[in-house]
Amino acid sequence: MRGKLKRDEDVFVGDFVEYDKLNKVVISVYPRANRLIRPYVANVDILLIVVAPKPQPDWVLVEKLLLNCHSQRILPVLVVNKCDLLDENELENMIAPYRREVKTFSVSAKKGIGLDELRSFTSGKTVCLSGQSAVGKTSLINALGGYRLETGELSRKIDRGKNTTRQVEIFFIGDGKIVDTCGFSIVDGIDIKPQELIYYYDEFLAVQDKCRYSNCTHTNEPGCEVKRLVNDKRISESRYARYVKLYKELTERSKRRYD
Protein backbone atom coordinates (compact mmCIF):
# COMPACT_ATOMS: atom_id res chain seq x y z
CA MET A 1 0.00 0.00 0.00
CA ARG A 2 1.23 3.46 -0.79
CA GLY A 3 1.29 6.24 1.74
CA LYS A 4 -1.63 6.41 4.06
CA LEU A 5 -3.62 3.52 2.56
CA LYS A 6 -4.31 0.80 5.12
CA ARG A 7 -5.12 -2.81 4.43
CA ASP A 8 -8.52 -3.89 5.79
CA GLU A 9 -9.34 -0.29 6.53
CA ASP A 10 -9.11 1.46 3.20
CA VAL A 11 -8.78 -1.49 0.83
CA PHE A 12 -11.19 -4.42 0.78
CA VAL A 13 -11.57 -7.69 -1.05
CA GLY A 14 -13.41 -6.87 -4.24
CA ASP A 15 -12.00 -3.39 -4.63
CA PHE A 16 -10.71 -2.17 -7.95
CA VAL A 17 -7.41 -0.44 -7.45
CA GLU A 18 -4.74 1.45 -9.28
CA TYR A 19 -1.68 -0.76 -9.05
CA ASP A 20 1.93 0.06 -9.70
CA LYS A 21 3.19 -3.21 -11.16
CA LEU A 22 6.83 -2.28 -11.14
CA ASN A 23 6.99 -1.35 -7.49
CA LYS A 24 4.17 -3.71 -6.49
CA VAL A 25 2.17 -1.13 -4.58
CA VAL A 26 -1.47 -0.21 -4.52
CA ILE A 27 -1.68 3.45 -5.31
CA SER A 28 -5.34 4.23 -4.95
CA VAL A 29 -8.79 2.68 -4.67
CA TYR A 30 -11.50 3.40 -7.21
CA PRO A 31 -14.97 4.42 -6.00
CA ARG A 32 -17.05 1.44 -4.81
CA ALA A 33 -20.51 0.48 -5.96
CA ASN A 34 -21.26 -0.90 -2.52
CA ARG A 35 -19.73 -2.51 0.50
CA LEU A 36 -20.74 -5.24 2.88
CA ILE A 37 -19.39 -5.27 6.40
CA ARG A 38 -18.29 -8.08 8.69
CA PRO A 39 -16.23 -8.92 6.88
CA TYR A 40 -15.75 -6.19 4.36
CA VAL A 41 -16.38 -7.01 0.72
CA ALA A 42 -16.71 -4.34 -1.91
CA ASN A 43 -18.42 -4.13 -5.29
CA VAL A 44 -20.79 -7.05 -4.92
CA ASP A 45 -23.23 -7.53 -7.82
CA ILE A 46 -25.31 -10.38 -6.47
CA LEU A 47 -25.89 -11.81 -3.02
CA LEU A 48 -26.98 -15.43 -3.03
CA ILE A 49 -29.10 -16.05 0.03
CA VAL A 50 -28.94 -19.79 0.49
CA VAL A 51 -31.63 -21.69 2.39
CA ALA A 52 -32.39 -25.40 2.60
CA PRO A 53 -35.02 -27.68 4.10
CA LYS A 54 -32.34 -28.75 6.56
CA PRO A 55 -31.32 -26.87 8.70
CA GLN A 56 -34.71 -25.27 9.10
CA PRO A 57 -34.67 -21.85 7.42
CA ASP A 58 -34.25 -18.76 9.52
CA TRP A 59 -36.59 -16.47 7.59
CA VAL A 60 -35.81 -13.48 9.75
CA LEU A 61 -32.20 -13.79 8.69
CA VAL A 62 -33.35 -13.99 5.07
CA GLU A 63 -35.41 -10.84 5.54
CA LYS A 64 -32.42 -9.01 7.00
CA LEU A 65 -30.22 -10.06 4.15
CA LEU A 66 -32.85 -8.85 1.67
CA LEU A 67 -33.04 -5.48 3.39
CA ASN A 68 -29.31 -5.19 3.32
CA CYS A 69 -29.28 -5.84 -0.40
CA HIS A 70 -31.88 -3.17 -1.00
CA SER A 71 -30.04 -0.58 1.00
CA GLN A 72 -26.71 -1.46 -0.65
CA ARG A 73 -28.13 -1.84 -4.16
CA ILE A 74 -27.07 -5.43 -4.48
CA LEU A 75 -29.28 -7.85 -6.40
CA PRO A 76 -30.53 -10.50 -3.99
CA VAL A 77 -31.19 -14.03 -5.18
CA LEU A 78 -32.86 -16.69 -3.08
CA VAL A 79 -31.31 -20.11 -3.62
CA VAL A 80 -33.13 -23.10 -2.19
CA ASN A 81 -30.46 -25.77 -1.97
CA LYS A 82 -31.01 -29.47 -1.20
CA CYS A 83 -34.12 -29.44 -3.37
CA ASP A 84 -33.59 -33.20 -3.66
CA LEU A 85 -35.06 -33.38 -0.15
CA LEU A 86 -38.28 -31.61 -1.14
CA ASP A 87 -41.31 -32.58 -3.22
CA GLU A 88 -42.84 -30.01 -5.53
CA ASN A 89 -45.43 -28.86 -3.01
CA GLU A 90 -42.96 -28.33 -0.22
CA LEU A 91 -40.69 -26.40 -2.56
CA GLU A 92 -43.55 -24.19 -3.71
CA ASN A 93 -44.55 -23.43 -0.12
CA MET A 94 -41.04 -22.37 0.67
CA ILE A 95 -40.63 -20.06 -2.29
CA ALA A 96 -44.13 -18.63 -2.70
CA PRO A 97 -43.90 -15.76 -0.18
CA TYR A 98 -40.74 -14.47 -1.85
CA ARG A 99 -41.47 -14.99 -5.50
CA ARG A 100 -42.72 -11.47 -6.13
CA GLU A 101 -39.84 -9.89 -4.35
CA VAL A 102 -36.75 -11.79 -5.33
CA LYS A 103 -35.47 -14.05 -8.07
CA THR A 104 -35.36 -17.63 -6.85
CA PHE A 105 -33.54 -20.78 -7.91
CA SER A 106 -34.02 -24.26 -6.59
CA VAL A 107 -30.90 -26.36 -6.82
CA SER A 108 -29.19 -29.39 -5.43
CA ALA A 109 -25.44 -29.07 -5.08
CA LYS A 110 -25.28 -32.75 -4.30
CA LYS A 111 -27.40 -34.06 -7.16
CA GLY A 112 -26.33 -31.41 -9.65
CA ILE A 113 -29.84 -30.05 -10.19
CA GLY A 114 -30.44 -26.49 -11.40
CA LEU A 115 -26.77 -25.54 -11.41
CA ASP A 116 -26.52 -24.52 -15.07
CA GLU A 117 -29.27 -21.95 -14.66
CA LEU A 118 -27.62 -20.48 -11.58
CA ARG A 119 -24.20 -20.50 -13.21
CA SER A 120 -25.41 -18.66 -16.27
CA PHE A 121 -27.36 -16.15 -14.20
CA THR A 122 -24.25 -15.25 -12.21
CA SER A 123 -21.86 -15.38 -15.13
CA GLY A 124 -19.47 -12.44 -15.26
CA LYS A 125 -20.67 -11.17 -11.89
CA THR A 126 -19.16 -10.82 -8.45
CA VAL A 127 -21.30 -12.99 -6.25
CA CYS A 128 -21.37 -13.25 -2.50
CA LEU A 129 -22.72 -16.26 -0.60
CA SER A 130 -24.68 -15.96 2.58
CA GLY A 131 -26.89 -18.11 4.73
CA GLN A 132 -26.89 -20.22 7.86
CA SER A 133 -24.18 -22.73 8.35
CA ALA A 134 -24.80 -26.19 6.81
CA VAL A 135 -27.23 -25.01 4.12
CA GLY A 136 -24.62 -26.04 1.55
CA LYS A 137 -22.65 -22.93 0.64
CA THR A 138 -19.37 -24.78 0.35
CA SER A 139 -21.04 -27.56 -1.62
CA LEU A 140 -22.36 -24.94 -4.03
CA ILE A 141 -18.90 -23.47 -4.61
CA ASN A 142 -17.65 -26.99 -5.32
CA ALA A 143 -20.52 -27.86 -7.62
CA LEU A 144 -20.56 -24.57 -9.50
CA GLY A 145 -16.83 -24.12 -9.89
CA GLY A 146 -15.40 -27.62 -9.80
CA TYR A 147 -13.62 -27.02 -6.52
CA ARG A 148 -12.99 -29.70 -3.92
CA LEU A 149 -13.36 -27.84 -0.68
CA GLU A 150 -14.21 -29.92 2.34
CA THR A 151 -17.88 -29.76 3.29
CA GLY A 152 -19.64 -30.48 6.54
CA GLU A 153 -18.86 -29.05 9.94
CA LEU A 154 -15.32 -30.35 10.12
CA SER A 155 -11.70 -29.40 9.94
CA ARG A 156 -11.51 -26.87 7.14
CA LYS A 157 -14.21 -24.78 8.67
CA ILE A 158 -12.88 -25.04 12.19
CA ASP A 159 -9.45 -24.08 10.92
CA ARG A 160 -10.78 -21.24 8.91
CA GLY A 161 -13.12 -20.17 11.65
CA LYS A 162 -10.48 -19.91 14.33
CA ASN A 163 -9.09 -16.48 13.87
CA THR A 164 -10.46 -15.77 10.50
CA THR A 165 -13.72 -13.98 11.00
CA ARG A 166 -12.45 -11.56 8.41
CA GLN A 167 -10.98 -14.09 6.05
CA VAL A 168 -12.49 -13.80 2.62
CA GLU A 169 -11.73 -16.02 -0.33
CA ILE A 170 -12.54 -15.50 -3.98
CA PHE A 171 -13.38 -18.51 -6.13
CA PHE A 172 -13.60 -18.29 -9.88
CA ILE A 173 -16.68 -19.77 -11.48
CA GLY A 174 -16.53 -19.58 -15.25
CA ASP A 175 -15.99 -15.90 -15.98
CA GLY A 176 -17.60 -14.85 -12.73
CA LYS A 177 -16.37 -15.01 -9.16
CA ILE A 178 -17.84 -16.11 -5.87
CA VAL A 179 -16.75 -14.57 -2.64
CA ASP A 180 -16.96 -16.95 0.28
CA THR A 181 -16.86 -15.14 3.54
CA CYS A 182 -16.70 -18.06 5.90
CA GLY A 183 -18.61 -16.91 8.97
CA PHE A 184 -20.61 -14.35 7.06
CA SER A 185 -22.54 -12.02 9.24
CA ILE A 186 -23.69 -8.94 7.46
CA VAL A 187 -26.79 -8.88 9.61
CA ASP A 188 -25.51 -6.23 11.96
CA GLY A 189 -24.70 -4.13 8.98
CA ILE A 190 -28.24 -3.09 8.20
CA ASP A 191 -28.03 0.62 8.34
CA ILE A 192 -31.62 1.78 8.30
CA LYS A 193 -33.78 3.59 10.81
CA PRO A 194 -36.89 1.87 12.21
CA GLN A 195 -39.16 4.36 10.44
CA GLU A 196 -37.48 3.53 7.13
CA LEU A 197 -38.24 -0.16 7.38
CA ILE A 198 -41.70 0.33 5.88
CA TYR A 199 -40.18 1.32 2.53
CA TYR A 200 -39.10 -2.27 2.01
CA TYR A 201 -42.66 -3.55 2.39
CA ASP A 202 -44.55 -2.41 -0.69
CA GLU A 203 -47.77 -4.13 0.25
CA PHE A 204 -47.84 -2.29 3.60
CA LEU A 205 -47.01 1.05 2.00
CA ALA A 206 -49.88 0.66 -0.42
CA VAL A 207 -52.51 0.52 2.32
CA GLN A 208 -51.09 2.46 5.24
CA ASP A 209 -53.03 5.64 4.51
CA LYS A 210 -56.07 3.73 5.76
CA CYS A 211 -54.54 3.24 9.22
CA ARG A 212 -56.26 5.25 11.95
CA TYR A 213 -53.07 7.06 12.92
CA SER A 214 -50.98 8.75 10.30
CA ASN A 215 -47.80 7.79 12.17
CA CYS A 216 -48.89 4.16 12.60
CA THR A 217 -45.92 1.79 12.85
CA HIS A 218 -48.21 -1.20 12.18
CA THR A 219 -46.91 -2.98 15.24
CA ASN A 220 -49.50 -2.51 17.99
CA GLU A 221 -51.69 0.50 17.19
CA PRO A 222 -55.48 0.10 17.10
CA GLY A 223 -57.20 0.62 13.77
CA CYS A 224 -54.18 -0.55 11.79
CA GLU A 225 -55.09 -1.44 8.22
CA VAL A 226 -51.99 -3.59 7.77
CA LYS A 227 -52.94 -5.73 10.75
CA ARG A 228 -56.50 -5.99 9.47
CA LEU A 229 -55.27 -7.34 6.14
CA VAL A 230 -53.00 -9.78 7.93
CA ASN A 231 -56.02 -11.08 9.84
CA ASP A 232 -57.93 -11.36 6.57
CA LYS A 233 -54.98 -13.33 5.17
CA ARG A 234 -54.47 -10.80 2.40
CA ILE A 235 -51.00 -9.94 3.67
CA SER A 236 -48.63 -12.79 4.46
CA GLU A 237 -48.74 -13.45 8.18
CA SER A 238 -45.18 -14.68 8.40
CA ARG A 239 -43.85 -11.73 6.45
CA TYR A 240 -45.74 -9.41 8.79
CA ALA A 241 -44.29 -11.23 11.80
CA ARG A 242 -40.80 -10.70 10.45
CA TYR A 243 -41.54 -7.02 9.89
CA VAL A 244 -42.60 -6.62 13.51
CA LYS A 245 -39.55 -8.49 14.76
CA LEU A 246 -37.20 -6.36 12.67
CA TYR A 247 -38.99 -3.18 13.67
CA LYS A 248 -38.45 -4.01 17.32
CA GLU A 249 -34.82 -4.91 16.80
CA LEU A 250 -34.13 -1.71 14.93
CA THR A 251 -35.92 0.34 17.58
CA GLU A 252 -33.94 -1.34 20.34
CA ARG A 253 -30.73 -0.70 18.51
CA SER A 254 -31.43 2.94 17.84
CA LYS A 255 -32.31 3.42 21.53
CA ARG A 256 -29.03 1.88 22.59
CA ARG A 257 -27.19 4.02 20.12
CA TYR A 258 -28.43 7.24 21.67
CA ASP A 259 -28.26 6.21 25.33
Which positions lie near ligand GDP, rule CB under 6 A? Answer: 81-82, 84-85, 108-110, 133-139, 151-152
Query: CB-based contacts of 151: which residues, under 8 Å, 6+ apart?
Result: 136, 138, 139, 142
d(CA 15, CA 10): 10
What's the CA dihedral at 156, 162, 165, 169 to 10 degrees? -30
Residue 129 C-beta: closest distance to ligand GDP, Å: 8
Binding site partner of 135, from ligand GDP, Zn ion, none, Cβ cut-off 5-8 A by kind: ligand GDP
In the list 128, 140, 186, 211, the residue contacting Zn ion (rule: CB under 5 A) is: 211
d(CA 148, CA 50): 19
Residue 178 C-beta: closest distance to ligand GDP, Å: 12
Applying CB under 5 A, does 218 fall inside the site for Zn ion? yes
**Residue (110 or 245) nearer to ligand GDP, CB:** 110
Residue 244 C-beta: closest distance to Zn ion, Å: 11
d(CA 18, CA 6): 14
**Residue (64 or 82) nearer to ligand GDP, CB:** 82
d(CA 162, CA 143): 25
Applying CB under 5 A, does 178 fall inside the site for Zn ion? no
**Interaction site with Zn ion (CB under 5 A):** 211, 216, 218, 224, 226
